[in-house]
Homo-oligomer: A and B are copies of this chain.
Amino acid sequence: MSLLVTGSIGIDTVETPAGRRDNVLGGSAVYFCYAASFFTPVRLVGVVGEDWPADLLAVLDGRPIDTSGLERRAGSKSFRWHGSYVDNLNEAVTVEVDLNVLAERAPKIPAAFADSRFLFLANTHPALQQQMLESVASPKLVVADTMNLWIQTAKPEVTKLLSKIDGIVLNDGEAKLLTEERNLVAAARKVLDLSGGRLKFVVVKKGEHGAILATPTEVASFAAYPTSAVVDPTGAGDSFAGGLLGYLSTQPEVTMDALKKAVAYGTVTASFTIADFSLAGLAAASRLHIDNRLTQFRTATTF
């Protein structure tokens, strides 16, 4: 089934206790599409500037990723982010950010992609996310991400978005901020309420502490994959979403069992991302590695 992702494509500089990498590939849509491509073909929509290095997306070559929705905009500069995890591997400190082309008009979803059945709206302004959503004719399942900035500055738009999508993936801090609940199970349930009954599921990501999955009738809870191999957490959340929606898009129905397995696949896919800088951890993985790790994860969490 056709899975489309829209989101950022950027040039990152990252510092972690394991070292530093300058001007490496990053961006929410990039991590998402690579992670999802282990499960299903993916359509990538995003925009970069005319300064985009020709070979920076070479890591996607040979993957089942359709990059024909990638716009290289003349006269614009690419999105750049410089972050540091030196003091805390669980939370990035933004050293510098240049939105550049991301602050301009959104990229256009090609007409050939309008028949996409699964849609992931990676983090951007919620009004833009809604605009993207309208470019896809009849999606079967739409999942979005968001961030603190939009919850603080555009909460009505975020809430409006919730009433138009099927699932949302957000982190613990965002869930608390959006709902003003301190308990994450209560927060997840309140996000469902905020959508006026539209949302089928909410996933609250807790980084090294795993994730909570809530549907209108059930709550499931997941440990993280237990690992000390953490080199660079950048892209973990987007890889998690990619594994989750990549797997889910191969399933006939969005049942609780399918959602739980999707969260588990998201968890182990992200565990490859954080084991190296930029896309190197994902690029070193295969579907077989992911399936083997899923089995290990099940063993490590089943009693």
Interface residues of A (CB under 8 A from B): 89, 182-186, 189, 206, 208-210, 212, 218-228, 230, 257, 260-261, 263-264, 298, 300-303
Residue of B whose beta carbon sits closest to that of A183: B228
A300 near B219: Cβ-Cβ < 8 Å: yes
- For A226, the chain B residues whose CB sits under 8 A away are 185, 212, 219-221
A189 near B220: Cβ-Cβ < 8 Å: no
Cross-chain contact of A210 among B210, B260, B302 (Cβ < 8 A): B210
**Number of copies of this protein chain within its complex:** 2
CA distance A228 to B225 in the complex (A): 24
A183 near B224: Cβ-Cβ < 8 Å: no
- For A189, the chain B residues whose CB sits under 8 A away are 228
Known: A221-B223, A222-B223. A228 touches B186 (CB 8 A): yes
- For A89, the chain B residues whose CB sits under 8 A away are 182-183
Cross-chain contact of A185 among B183, B210, B221, B227 (Cβ < 8 A): B227
Q: Could you list 14 A-B pairs, sorted by A, with CB under 8 Å?
A: A185-B226, A185-B227, A185-B228, A186-B228, A206-B209, A210-B210, A219-B300, A220-B301, A221-B223, A221-B300, A221-B301, A257-B303, A260-B303, A301-B302
> Max chain B CB contacts within 10 Å: which of A183, A212, A228, A264?
A228
Cross-chain contact of A302 among B183, B184, B302 (Cβ < 8 A): B302
**Minimum Cβ distance to chain B for residue A180 (Å):** 13
CA distance A221 to B225 in the complex (A): 7
CA distance A185 to B264 in the complex (A): 19
CA distance A302 to B264 in the complex (A): 9
